[in-house]
Amino acid sequence: MRTILVLVRKDFANFFANKAAVSLTFIVPFVLIWLFGAVFGVNRKDSGPTGIPLAVVNASTNPGAEKLIQALRAEKAFKVITQYKADDKTERPLREADLAALMRANEFRFAVVIPEDLFSEKQLGLHLKIYTNPRNEIETQLVNGILQKTIFSNVPQLLGQSLVARGRGVVGAENMARFNQATADNIARSFGGDSAQILKNIESGDFTGGLPAGGAGAGGDSLLSQVIRIESIQVAGQDVKSPAATRIVGGWAMQFLLFALSAAATGLFYERDQGIFHRIMAGPVSRAQIMWSKFTFGVCIGMLQLVTLFLAGRILYGIDVEHHIGFLLLICAFAAAACTAFGMLLAAVSPSPEAASGLATFSILLMSAIGGAWFPVTLMPEFIQQVSKFTLVYWAMEGFSQVLWANVTFLELLPTLGILSGMTALVMAIAVWRFNRGKIFG
């Protein structure tokens, strides 16, 4: 026991004397956690991108078009550009013909054209043209998403107009007028209000106004938002500020812990080649003590790293660490043990340190990706979702979110701990068996 303690202390001294190891274990994942949190707007009220240049060309005379532009201007994700600045500093409204050249010059990467036929009688819906010069897919998807959101949520009237126009196209203008008149009369009779005003609103596609307060349109809610009402209720994690933060912190921490512990296990090769094993095993130290000291060191450094990074997550993103510290330590210990076992296995099956680190890079990246350290497993194909359950990263991530997010009881956490310790035992058994047959102590 004392021997193991001395060896573990030695590993710690070695670890902290090695700047590369320390930064790989603590600093690099911290920076990544911070960066990724910033990019994905974890835990910011005003999340999302800002100021993406968006050119808008308005060729329509419909008053709804101007409303749409107002709405886009109000959206802080966009910086709306409607004017064209010529070389002689004169300005004029942008035209569709200007777009291609300006986009090629990278003045902006997205443009919306509101054509003359904003509404058509042949088709339901708005006719908008969106020009993109997709620098990257994520940005394009993001911009598309925000555009749709802006159009649908802020300008329901446009859709109403579209509806009316389409109706006119289907039943004929005369029938439509008669239908609208009858509808307006009916509404006025049933709910009160001025029939002429209601008719005007219906014809302009505005289904929200013209009704007396307290009626169906009360509260100024748009008709659309009444038709589709989504209420999202979070079952778990009511008190965590951001589940994404748990993933980002846990994911990067795990990945770099795996790297660090594989490197530590690969240190066995170094100690062998230097003859250090010969020196200490000629003395009173046994193989088993060397292995257990490495394992103990791995678990200690792993817990230290995971807890440190979750504390960083507490500071950066308000992850509730303090109320879960007991379970967090528990899951971190089990995750660290599994990572250590994995590192030892790598060293045990590799013929050389070079082979070990190559194998480590490949298997750690693969395991992190499919285990859900980078993005949620649920986004992956069914087959990979099944495979990911065989990775220790998956179960560690599962454990982190159980503890930090889902507020589980010990009993609920137990299966995850069980699976992690089962993996640890199995992997360690293989590693020890390989070590005893292999050359590391030869």
Partner 1 sequence: MLTLENVTKRYGTLTALDGVSLRIEAGEFFGLLGPNGAGKSTLMSLVAGLRAPDAGRLTLNGQPLSAANSAARAALGLVPQHIALYPKLSAEQNLRIFGQLYGLGGALLRDRINEGLEAMQLADRRRDRVETFSGGMQRRLNIIASLLHRPKLLLCDEPTVGVDPQSRNAIFEFLEKLNREGLTVIYSTHYMEEATRLCSRIGIIDHGKIPALGTLDELLLKLPFEEEIRFPRTEATTALVAKLGACGAVEPGDEHYRFRPQPGYKLSSFYQLTESLGLPARHFTSQRPTLEALFLHLTGRNLRE
Examine residue 2 and tell whether it contacts partner 1 (CB under 8 A): yes
Residue of the chain from 221, 273, 354, 412 that contacts partner 1 (CB under 8 A): 273
What are 327's two structure tokens?
Answer: 């379970």
Examine residue 284 and tell whether it contacts partner 1 (CB under 8 A): yes
Cα(294)–Cα(136) distance, rounded to whole angstroms?
44
Cβ atoms of residues 147 and 213 within 8 Å: no
Least Å distance, CB 261 to partner 1, is 18
Site for partner 1 in 3-22 (CB under 8 A): 3, 6-7, 9-10, 13-14, 17-18
Cα(260)–Cα(32) distance, rounded to whole angstroms?
16
Cβ atoms of residues 427 and 338 within 8 Å: yes
Examine residue 1 and tell whether it contacts partner 1 (CB under 8 A): no
Examine residue 385 and tell whether it contacts partner 1 (CB under 8 A): no
Contact region for partner 1 (CB under 8 A) — 33-41, 240-248, 283-291, 362-370? 283-291
Cα(338)–Cα(157) distance, rounded to whole angstroms?
57
Examine residue 359 and tell whether it contacts partner 1 (CB under 8 A): no
Least Å distance, CB 276 to partner 1, is 5
Least Å distance, CB 16 to partner 1, is 9
Nearer to partner 1, 23 or 195 (CB): 23
Element (H, E) at 276: helix 276-282
Give me the helix-helix angle, 287-317 and 28-39, nearest 10°: 30
Least Å distance, CB 293 to partner 1, is 10
Strand arrangement of the beta sheet that strand 129-132 belongs to: 78-81, 52-58, 110-114, 129-132
Residue of the chain from 230, 283, 378, 382 that contacts partner 1 (CB under 8 A): 283
Nearer to partner 1, 69 or 281 (CB): 281
Quick note: the x/- pattern for partner 1 over 127-166, rule CB under 8 A, is: ----------------------------------------
For residue 66, the one-letter residue type is E
Least Å distance, CB 375 to partner 1, is 37
Nearer to partner 1, 92 or 278 (CB): 278
Examine residue 230 and tell whether it contacts partner 1 (CB under 8 A): no
Q: How are beta strands 129-132 and 83-85 bridged, if at all?
A: unpaired
Residue of the chain from 280, 336, 341, 427 that contacts partner 1 (CB under 8 A): 280
Examine residue 274 and tell whether it contacts partner 1 (CB under 8 A): yes
Cβ atoms of residues 193 and 211 within 8 Å: yes
Cα(24)–Cα(220) distance, rounded to whole angstroms?
55
Examine residue 285 and tell whether it contacts partner 1 (CB under 8 A): yes
Residue of the chain from 282, 322, 378, 381 that contacts partner 1 (CB under 8 A): 282
Cα(163)–Cα(169) distance, rounded to whole angstroms?
10
**How many residues line the site for partner 1 (CB under 8 A)?**
23
Which whole-number Å values give the CA distances from 359 to 55, 121, 251, 289, 343, in the listed order?
Answer: 49, 63, 20, 26, 10
Residue of the chain from 134, 145, 214, 275 that contacts partner 1 (CB under 8 A): 275
Nearer to partner 1, 3 or 144 (CB): 3
Neighbours of 406 (CB within 10 A): 17
Residue 33, SS3 per DSSP: helix
Q: How are beta strands 129-132 and 91-93 bridged, if at all?
A: unpaired
Residue of the chain from 71, 281, 359, 430 that contacts partner 1 (CB under 8 A): 281
Cβ atoms of residues 169 and 122 within 8 Å: yes
- Distance from CA of residue 116 to its chain's centroid? 39
Least Å distance, CB 19 to partner 1, is 10
- Altogether, the residues listed in the chain come to a count of 442
Nearer to partner 1, 175 or 286 (CB): 286
Contact region for partner 1 (CB under 8 A) — 36-44, 169-177, 280-288, 328-336? 280-288
Cα(294)–Cα(115) distance, rounded to whole angstroms?
69
Examine residue 220 and tell whether it contacts partner 1 (CB under 8 A): no
Nearer to partner 1, 2 or 45 (CB): 2
Residue 370 burial (10 A CB sphere; 0-12, 13-18, 19+): buried
Site for partner 1 in 391-430 (CB under 8 A): none
Give contact residues for partner 1 (rule: CB under 8 A).
Answer: 2-3, 6-7, 9-10, 13-14, 17-18, 273-276, 278-286
